[in-house]
Structure 1
């Protein structure tokens, strides 16, 4: 429990609606387990794994679930020639993002080489590893799942933007974004997305609840984006 002033508080259960570093990466979950306090949501290992986008995508690939072409960079080994080859192979636009951060912080959409170094500097401010990722032309789809042994899979949602991408401001203020539920998808395609989401949820050991986000192209190709082990719970979530 906790000591507040002279009063001891022993909560029945905690609902850690916290995001990003320390809140969604297994740290607070580990603290609660050390204190023997029950909590809602994914446990330490699953939380940490889903925060590390590179590792998440590597494991998803073993399940036959595709992700956008991605290059992993280290702050300490950052070879310009490797970056140039990736851009030659995949072209612009690309996204440069921290490997382990939440709420779309530190992400930059880069359309030419002039903005490359600035975007890398921004992303490395959030950690020692950064991803360069090919931009997928399509719509962003979210699939919410609730449960442990028995799962409830919600209707998929679709995010539409006038311009840009679903960054921190859009996620929390909906400046130009609109969220449509259910997503305007063919039933067969929605079924494929839900199957992939459930496979990830089970195989990664997720518990309680999570939202699995994908990109879907106009041709119907599905790419894993990320997994939120504690969705936002904002007024428009």
Structure 2
């Protein structure tokens, strides 16, 4: 069992958050899918728990928001205001200025220079995900972009990230494992190929661990969602890409190996 009681290290994906039109309907969906429990949070925000520990949040999407329902990856910071300012100095666009969620965190929402939106999470005092790396909880995050060099430069400058690059046979960039300043492998960075055109926008993908991905895929379909990519054997485990009933996209994976920390 992986449990977190202290704030996550700087630049670590630490909290998955779903913004959607009907948070309570979404909560029912994920309660069925992953066995999540609901805890009432501030301002109509719902905290989702497994065995009493927080794993995700679900909240209302602003009525005038031009984007569909979306899972947002929040990155851990020690000072939301400082990091939000630094990101903007490096070319990011701010969507939500630093804001307090009473009893939980100080957050902000930004779009990085590649076009991928993400959040900042300063524990106040909520650490973010308290349970992780087990069925129905956060296990991995992946930034998918068209310009990997721009992404590497931006996150390296803001968070001190370094990269373990995996190359194609011809020496071109294939994938990078992202390492924090204190040496932790925390997420992945992939490239959206030109062959996809405008089909995929740059984005952060949330991965939840599923003990049986085929069963999770079937459950999503029964609950009114869609399968965007059926279960495949990837380089890191068995995975699928899914769309929830309100249009939110996420992935599930049964990884070949899971670190305890």
Shared fold, TM over 0.5: no
Bigger fraction of residues in strand: 2
Q: TM-score scaled to structure 1, two decimals?
A: 0.30
- Which structure is higher in RCO with an 8 Å CA cutoff and minimum separation 6? 1
Larger radius of gyration between Structure 1 and Structure 2: 1
